[in-house]
Amino acid sequence: MDEVSVNEQANKPTGKLPGSARVVVIGGGAVGASVLYHLAERGWRDVVLLEKNELTSGSTWHAAGNCPNYVGSWTIMKIQSYSTSLYRKLGDLVDYPMNYHVTGAIRLAHSRQRMEEFRHVERMGRQMGIEFQEMSPAEMQEVYPFLETHDLYGGQWDLLDGDIDPAQLTQALAKGARDMGATVIRFCPVTGARRENGEWVLSTPQGDIRCEYVVNASGYRANEVGRMFGRDVPCISLAHQYLVTEGIPELAARDTKLPLLRDPDSSYYLRQEKDGLLLGPYEKGCRAHWTDASDPMPEDFSFQLYSDDLERLEWYIEDACARVPLLGTAGITRVVNGPIPYAPDGLPLIGQMPGVPNAFEACVFTFGIVQAGGAGKLLSEIIVEGESETDSWAVDPRRFTDHVTHDYAKAKAIETYSHEYAMHFPQIQWPAGRKAKTSPLYDTLAEAGAAFGSYGGWERADWFLRDGEEDRPADSYDRQHWFDAVGAECRHVAEHVGVLELTGFSRFLVKGPGATDWLRGLVTGGLPKVGRIGLVYFASEKGKILTEMTATRLGEDEFLMMTGAGAYWHDRDLLKFRLPADSSISITDVTASMATLLVTGPKAPALMAELTGEATGHEDFPWLTYRRMSIAGIEVTAIRVSFAGEAGWELHCDMGDIKPLYDAVWAAGTAHRIANFGMLALDSMRLEKGYRSWKADLTSDYTMFESGLGRWVNLGKDSFVGKAALQAEHQAGVTQGFVTLTLEDPGDGEPFGEAVYLSTVLIDGNAAGLVVSAGYGHRVGKSIAMAVVDSAMLAAGGAVSVDVLGRERAAALVEGDVLYDPDNSRMKV
Ligand SMILES: Cc1cc2nc3c(=O)[nH]c(=O)nc-3n(C[C@H](O)[C@H](O)[C@H](O)COP(=O)(O)OP(=O)(O)OC[C@H]3O[C@@H](n4cnc5c(N)ncnc54)[C@H](O)[C@@H]3O)c2cc1C
């Protein structure tokens, strides 16, 4: 036995450090232990966990241990539901009994919108085999007799919610891993990392250990460990508190434990702890720690807490006492105020360490107890198989790019904490951390009335306020007040010409002998000819969609690869990690130095002719080609393409030239009734054209064929990543397919909104698939939803409908998936 207790051998490493291992996991909280367990379970037994102190000594030991299934994100619901099912059997699996009370939980709704959110999540859960049930106030009181329900709209029941002992969970996972051959060494901090001969060498006070792969699972110390790899992890430690009351006779008298109670509108959880109650609020005005030099993170904070700060919780305590008066009858015996790590969006980092080869992250967990199981599974899939079973973009560390500074991370973390239970309404962004990246055109657009949105940190106009309008989105899934303004922008683009700044495209110049052959082996289809542009897709080995890029072929072996603002680091890694070591191909990141205007609409050709003095008709300047041109003395690369589906050009120029370019376009455009339009209008128009959006309707949950991208797959090519899987799928036949639907208007007096991401598609009333993109098409006057549905159910026929927030709306299939100008004649004038 290589384990000794802390008391027996204070702060001495527990076991001899091996010279090498296949994987080293840094950090022995619930998450690190789960990563180790799942790697070992997958058959990788030469794996070592190094823990600075004792297992659980970070945030894990003091966690409340609540384990809900309910969550609004598909990826996180997968993670949490896997965890809860694993935890129910883990004790038996590894022979380590533990306290896991599956009590069920009630979630309270104070409003129609909250109930709609519950219904949406309930439908999502159903697709995953997880059961949630709507509850009336009377039903809630039946299972929770101490609850005041007079002012509630309703509630929801999470059958399999409960609480687990986090320390026992961690020990069980560590035991299971050890039993399978993994090694756990406590009191062995990692103090440095270096790359040697394609391996990682980690330093510890016990000496060095070499490894092929490394995982940063160091909880709130993620940034400290990240720095060893040259990585700035967006991790902010916030102080989260719960209080525990003394025993309450009414609870002591019960045979069963009370279910958990969550009041998301008031923002707290309340559960039974022994014979007392445990109350944990997510309060406004929370406190961040260790964020600057005046408050440095102590070298060791193991098993420690912050001082109590109950004043901040007063409102929440009073509110909870009014909801469950029994709570007010008992005194407080214990307050736990501990570090809870927050990423800017409150979701953990699980996956590739950005830009760092063979290094991974499983850190910054806000709900690390309930997520540990699923996170370990997910990361072990990524490490061992190179890809996860389901899309994991929601937790991919590369979703945060270079705009995420420490100040940004802090502002967003605090905002997210105070909105922990808030509803996320489509197209509404919270205000913290804005203006992270602006172009020189920002002020001009602001003066023109732009209401901005953040796209990979870049500020882009979402829509333009008309005279007297204010940008005050409603807390609602119903149509927002900008609906008419966005509609007017779309119609203007369709009749005249519009201009939109699209700065923030990620761009990589790929160049050098062999570039064409190398790219050909990566993309699923063909590459454009010299002088032309084309959409290219990258699939995983399993044929799932990794990304979509626009390739502009500048020369025989020279390409400008353009991709979305949010895909910046993801796509950079995708290209760079696949480049053979001895290659003479170079990949240059030219993202920050370039800007883009989209000029589009039926008057765009005339405007462009005037601006450039060149012929711009389709015969002279065909669709999907580019030219270098001069506009008002500014060098631009004009690409004839338009995501809006009208005649149009993307004008790419140096960042410094974007303002004079815009001014020149605007001045000449006045005669053509040029107008600004925004991203919301662009999204509406691309839906009408059937154009796709990365990480909405293009995700690695689906293969190329399932996503309806078969015409970008060339199975006749010699080889490309994913070919074998796609060939097998092609032969066997796809089991689900992509469809575009239009939705009937809701009934009179019913709230009117579009389908929400991941709404359920029904065929003859049976769940058949999920909505992956939705919005209103103003040019065609229809509510549109793109979805992936079961092919057999689709082939069998039947009435199609979409469940939008609990209301079933009849839907019609769109033939060919394109609602607007299906033969592209408008783009080719
Ligand atoms: C008051 C409170 C209540 C909470 N309640 C819940 C809840 O009900 N449900 C829930 O899911 N979550 C809850 N949480 C959050 C939960 O505690 C964390 O998300 C979870 O513990 C994170 O686990 P981890 O393994 O990622 O990190 P940690 O538990 O912090 O583990 C990281 C480990 O890494 C080690 N380490 C750091 N640096 C090094 C190094 N250089 N070398 C080696 N080892 C290193 C640390 O010593 C530590 O043991 C709560 C948090 C707080 C503060």
Q: Look up tokens 């950005």; give the residue.
A: 354
pLDDT in tens, 328-351: 999 999 999 999 999 999 999 999
Q: Is 186 in the pocket of ligand 1 (CB under 6 A)?
A: no
Name the residue type at position 441.
L
Name the 3-class secondary structure at 59.
coil
User: Measured on CA atoms in the order 46, 51, 56, 59, is the torsion positive or negative?
Assistant: negative
CA of 402 to the centre of ligand 1 (A): 26
CA of 366 to the centre of ligand 1 (A): 8
Calpha distance 346→282 (Å, rounded): 12
CA of 362 to the centre of ligand 1 (A): 11
Calpha distance 186→7 (Å, rounded): 13
Q: Is the pLDDT of residue 1 over 50?
A: no
pLDDT at 471: 86
Q: CB-side exposure of 107: number of CA atoms within 13 Å?
A: 28
The model's confidence at residue 10, banded by pLDDT at 50, 70 and 90, is: low
Q: Is the pLDDT of residue 8 over 80?
A: no
Distances (CA, A) of 568 to 195, 590, 730, 792: 24, 11, 31, 37
Q: Which helix (H) or strand (E) holds 89?
A: helix 74-94
CA of 802 to the centre of ligand 1 (A): 40
Q: Which ligand 1 atom minimizes the distance to the CA of 241?
A: 1
How large is the C-alpha radius of gyration of the chain?
Answer: 28
CA of 373 to the centre of ligand 1 (A): 14
Name the residue type at position 236.
I
Q: Is 482 in the pocket of ligand 1 (CB under 6 A)?
A: no
Q: Is the pLDDT of residue 6 over 90?
A: no
For every residue of 401-458, DSSP letters joined together read -TT--HHHHHHHHHHHHHTTT----TT---STT--SB--TTHHHHHHTTEEEEEETTE
Q: Is 53 in the pocket of ligand 1 (CB under 6 A)?
A: yes
Calpha distance 591→587 (Å, rounded): 12
Q: Which ligand 1 atom minimizes the distance to the CA of 218?
A: 34
Q: Is 225 in the pocket of ligand 1 (CB under 6 A)?
A: yes
- 91: tokens are 């004790």
Calpha distance 614→616 (Å, rounded): 6
pLDDT at 672: 97
Contact of 394 with 701, CB cutoff 8 Å = no
Dihedrals phi, psi of 785, to nearest 5 degrees:
-140, 130
Calpha distance 778→782 (Å, rounded): 7
Calpha distance 49→356 (Å, rounded): 20
Which candidate, 724, 390, 732, places its Cα nearest to that of 524? 724
Name the residue type at position 196.
E
CA of 347 to the centre of ligand 1 (A): 14
Q: Is 503 in the pocket of ligand 1 (CB under 6 A)?
A: no
Q: How many C-beta atoms lie closer than 10 Å to residue 795's C-beta?
A: 8
Q: Is 336 in the pocket of ligand 1 (CB under 6 A)?
A: yes
Q: Which ligand 1 atom minimizes the distance to the CA of 365?
A: 19
Contact of 756 with 774, CB cutoff 8 Å = yes
Q: How many distinct helices (H) and strands (E) make up the chain?
A: 19, 38
Calpha distance 738→183 (Å, rounded): 46
Q: Is the pLDDT of residue 722 over 60?
A: yes
CA of 371 to the centre of ligand 1 (A): 11
pLDDT at 2: 32
Calpha distance 677→667 (Å, rounded): 16
16-21: Cβ within 8 A, 24+ apart: 16/206, 17/50, 17/185, 17/188, 17/204, 17/206, 17/207, 17/209, 18/48, 18/183, 18/209, 19/208, 19/209, 19/210, 20/209, 20/210, 20/211, 21/46, 21/47, 21/48, 21/183, 21/209, 21/210, 21/211
Quick one: DSSP state of residue 628?
Answer: E
Q: Which ligand 1 atom minimizes the distance to the CA of 166?
A: 21
Q: Is the pLDDT of residue 444 over 70?
A: yes
Q: Which ligand 1 atom minimizes the distance to the CA of 366?
A: 19
Calpha distance 497→669 (Å, rounded): 8
The model's confidence at residue 474, banded by pLDDT at 50, 70 and 90, is: confident
Calpha distance 231→412 (Å, rounded): 19
Calpha distance 12→382 (Å, rounded): 33
Q: Is 400 in the pocket of ligand 1 (CB under 6 A)?
A: no
CA of 340 to the centre of ligand 1 (A): 7
Residue nearest to atom 37 of ligand 1 (CA): 218
Give the pLDDT mean for 694-703: 95
Which candidate, 176, 178, 172, 184, places its Cα nearest to that of 217? 184
Q: What is the pTM of this model?
A: 0.96
Name the 3-class secondary structure at 386.
coil
Q: Which helix (H) or strand (E) holds 537?
A: strand 533-539
pLDDT at 464: 97
CA of 174 to the centre of ligand 1 (A): 15
- 228: tokens are 């060893």
Calpha distance 608→611 (Å, rounded): 5
Name the 3-class secondary structure at 694.
strand
Name the 3-class secondary structure at 802.
strand
Which candidate, 260, 94, 45, places its Cα nearest to that of 162? 260
Which candidate, 824, 509, 820, places its Cα nearest to that of 640? 824
pLDDT in tens, 157-204: 999 999 999 999 999 999 999 999 999 999 999 999 999 999 999 999
Residue nearest to atom 31 of ligand 1 (CA): 29
- Reduced DSSP (H G I as helix, E B as strand, rest coil) percent helix, strand, coil of the chain, to 5: 30, 30, 45
Which candidate, 653, 657, 637, 619, places its Cα nearest to that of 552? 637
Q: Is 340 in the pocket of ligand 1 (CB under 6 A)?
A: yes
Q: Is 52 in the pocket of ligand 1 (CB under 6 A)?
A: yes
Q: Which ligand 1 atom minimizes the distance to the CA of 338?
A: 53
Strands annotated E in 591-679: 594-600, 626-631, 634-640, 648-654, 674-676
Calpha distance 3→25 (Å, rounded): 18
N-term to C-term CA, the chain: 78
pLDDT at 156: 98
Q: Is the pLDDT of residue 12 over 80?
A: no
Calpha distance 285→733 (Å, rounded): 54
Q: What angle do CA 101, 106, 112 make, to 5 degrees?
A: 160
CA of 29 to the centre of ligand 1 (A): 5
Q: Is 499 in the pocket of ligand 1 (CB under 6 A)?
A: no
Residue nearest to atom 42 of ligand 1 (CA): 189
Using a pLDDT cut of 70, give the percent of the chain over it: 99
User: Measured on CA atoms in the order 462, 468, 470, 474, is the torsion positive or negative?
Assistant: negative
Strands annotated E in 123-267: 132-135, 154-158, 163-164, 183-185, 192-196, 199-204, 207-216, 236-245, 260-263
CA of 368 to the centre of ligand 1 (A): 7
Calpha distance 793→807 (Å, rounded): 21
Residue nearest to atom 30 of ligand 1 (CA): 58
Q: Which ligand 1 atom minimizes the distance to the CA of 53?
A: 47
Calpha distance 74→390 (Å, rounded): 10
Q: Is 603 in the pocket of ligand 1 (CB under 6 A)?
A: no
Q: Is 238 in the pocket of ligand 1 (CB under 6 A)?
A: no
CA of 349 to the centre of ligand 1 (A): 13
Q: How many C-beta atoms lie closer than 10 Å to residue 356's C-beta?
A: 21
Q: Look up tokens 């015969």; give the residue.
A: 619
Q: Is the pLDDT of residue 208 over 60?
A: yes
Residue nearest to atom 2 of ligand 1 (CA): 63
Q: Which helix (H) or strand (E) holds 338?
A: strand 332-342
pLDDT at 9: 46
CA of 17 to the centre of ligand 1 (A): 24
Contact of 648 with 826, CB cutoff 8 Å = no
CA of 378 to the centre of ligand 1 (A): 18
Phi-psi category of 44—alpha, beta or left, where left has phi over 0 and alpha has psi -120 to 50? beta
Q: Is 220 in the pocket of ligand 1 (CB under 6 A)?
A: yes
CA of 60 to the centre of ligand 1 (A): 4
Q: Which of 11, 24, 59, 290 to mutate to test the pocket of ligand 1 (most atoms within 8 A of CB)?
A: 59
pLDDT in tens, 733-772: 999 999 999 999 988 888 888 999 999 999 999 999 999 9
Calpha distance 177→171 (Å, rounded): 10
pLDDT at 4: 33
Name the 3-class secondary structure at 800.
strand
CA of 58 to the centre of ligand 1 (A): 5
CA of 100 to the centre of ligand 1 (A): 18
Calpha distance 393→350 (Å, rounded): 9
Q: Is the pLDDT of residue 5 over 60?
A: no
